[in-house]
Amino acid sequence: MWLDEVPAGAVNAANGSPLHSQVGAIIRSHIVNGQLPPGSQLPTEAELQERFSVSRSVVRQALAALSAEGLVQRGRGRGSVVSPRGEHHRLVQRMSGLSTQISAEGADVFTAVLALAPEQNAAASAALGGAEVVGIRRLRSAGTGPLAVIHTWLPLSIGAGLTAVELTDASLHTVLRSRLGVSFVSGRRQVRAVAATEGLAKLLQISVGEPLLLLEGTSLDEHGVPIEMFSTWHRADRVVFDLDVVDADAPAIAPDLAHADGRVTRPQLAAHAADLARQLHELSVELDRND
C-alpha cells in the first residue's frame, strides 16, 4: 500500500506548515502522480491518524480540504475515494488558447485579470522586436477551480488600449481580433516541468513545490511580425497537454480521401490530383490578370 511508503516523520509540527496541510499534501501528491488512481479507496481516518501520528481532527481537516479541491469524494459509511479526474485537455500545437479550447469542451471558463500595465522586461522587448511592452497577468479557472496563471506581453502599440474589464472572463486573442483586427497565425511553443513558487501556489491553490506544466512561446501575425510573448503555468493535475502526431516520412494525404483503415484508392488519388491541377491553373490565370 502507498501509505506504507510514506517515511516516518513525514508530518512534522516543527516545519512551520499546519499539520493538516502536510497530510493533505502527501495524499494529494500520490493522487497527482497516479499512485492513487480515480476510484481508489483511501485508508480510513483511523489508519491515516496512526500512520501520520496526528489527531483525528487533523485527518478530517486534510480530507475536507482535498474534498473541497475536488480530488476526494467523501461519503458516510463508505469512507473517502479518489474523485474521477476533472481534467481539461489542451492541444498545445494549436494557436487557440486555453480559454477557447476548454470552452469547446462545454465547460464554463473564468478569467480574472491580476495586472495590466506597461512593464520593463528585456526578454519580452527583445522577442517583440525591441518594442516597449504591456504585461498582462491573469488567472484562468474552470468548474474544477484554478487551472493556470498566464503572463502575456504585448507591444505597447497593441496592448495600451486594453482594459481589465474587457479581458475579464474573455479570451485575449478574441478581444484583439475583434477590436484591433490582430490575427495570431503562427508561433513557437515549448513545454517544461517546473515547481510551484509561493506566489503561484497561492493563486493555484496548491502546495509550494508541486509540479506545474509551463508553456512558453511567441505568436506571430500574418506578416510574420511577433505580437505576443507568454508564459502559462498550468496545474499538472487538472490540465493535460495533447499532441497530434504525424509520420514526417509518410506522404501527405487529404483526410477526406482516406478510408477508416487509412487506405486510399487509385481513383481517389487521381481525382485529388486533378483537383489540385485545376486549382493551380486557376491561380496562374489569376496571377496573369494581376500582372
pLDDT 10s digits, 80-97: 888 766 666 656 656 555
Closest CA to 269 of 284, 281, 252: 252
User: pTM higher than 0.85 for the full model?
Assistant: no
pLDDT of 260 strictly over 70: no
Q: Between residues 116 and 141, which one has the greater pLDDT?
A: 116
Closest CA to 228 of 133, 163, 137, 148: 133
The predicted structure's pLDDT at residue 288:
53
pLDDT 10s digits, 225-239: 899 999 999 888 877
Identify the structural domains of the chain with CATH numbers, from first to last. 2-82 (1.10.10.10), 88-242 (3.40.1410.10), 255-290 (no CATH)
Show contacts of 29-34: CB within 8 Å, 24+ apart.
29/210, 30/2, 31/66, 31/71, 31/72, 31/82, 31/237, 32/210, 32/211, 32/236, 32/237
Q: Please, are residues 231 and 212 in contact by the beta-carbon 8 Å criterion?
A: no
Grid coordinates in use for 188?
Answer: 513557437
Grid coordinates in use for 213?
Answer: 506544466
Residues in the chain: 291
Confidence of residue 98 (pLDDT cuts 50, 70, 90): low
The predicted structure's pLDDT at residue 222:
86
pLDDT 10s digits, 135-186: 999 999 887 689 899 999 999 999 998 999 999 998 898 898 888 888 888 8
Q: Between residues 13 and 49, which one has the greater pLDDT?
A: 49
The predicted structure's pLDDT at residue 66:
87
The predicted structure's pLDDT at residue 286:
56
CA distance 182 to 268: 39
DSSP E strands, the chain: 72-75, 79-82, 88-91, 110-119, 133-142, 145-155, 186-195, 211-220, 226-235, 239-242
The predicted structure's pLDDT at residue 131:
77
Confidence of residue 258 (pLDDT cuts 50, 70, 90): very low
Q: Please, are residues 59 and 23 in contact by the beta-carbon 8 Å criterion?
A: yes
pLDDT of 64 strictly over 70: yes
CA pseudo-torsion sign 200, 203, 208, 210 = negative
pLDDT 10s digits, 29-40: 888 777 888 888
The predicted structure's pLDDT at residue 115:
96
Q: Between residues 258 and 26, which one has the greater pLDDT?
A: 26
Specify the residue for cell string 474552470.
142
Grid coordinates in use for 199?
Answer: 506566489
Q: Please, are residues 196 and 206 in contact by the beta-carbon 8 Å criterion?
A: yes
Confidence of residue 253 (pLDDT cuts 50, 70, 90): very low
Cα separation values, 169 from 65, 94, 108, 138, 139, Å: 26, 21, 10, 10, 10
The predicted structure's pLDDT at residue 272:
54
The predicted structure's pLDDT at residue 241:
72
The predicted structure's pLDDT at residue 79:
82
pLDDT 10s digits, 117-132: 999 999 999 999 887 9
Q: Enumerate residues 6+ apart whose C-beta is below 8 A from 161.
A: 179, 180
